Amino acid sequence: MSLFGTFDVAASGLSAQRLRMDVTAENLANAQSTRGADGGPYRRKEVVLREASGGSSFGAALAGARGGAAAGGAGGVEVAAVVPSQAAPKRVHDPGHPDADADGNVLMPDINPVTEMVDLIGAQRAYEANVTAMQSAKSMFSKTLELLR
Q: Site residues (CB under 8 A) for another protein?
A: 1-3, 5-6, 9-10, 12-13, 16-17, 20, 48-51, 69-70, 73-77, 122-123, 125-126, 129-130, 132-134, 136-137, 139-140, 143-144, 146-147
Nearer to another protein, 35 or 125 (CB): 125
DSSP of the chain: -HHHHHHHHHHHHHHHHHHHHHHHHHHHHTTT-S--TTSSS---EEEEEEE-----SHHHHHHHHTT-TT-S----EEEEEEEE--SPPEEEE-TTSTT--TTSEEEE----HHHHHHHHHHHHHHHHHHHHHHHHHHHHHHHHHGGG-
Q: Measured from the CB of residue 92, what is the shortest distance to another protein in angstroms?
A: 31
Report in angstroms how near the CB of residue 119 gets to another protein at its nearest: 10
Shortest gap between Cβ of 57 and another protein (angstroms)?
12
Closest to another protein by CB, 36 vs 122, is 122
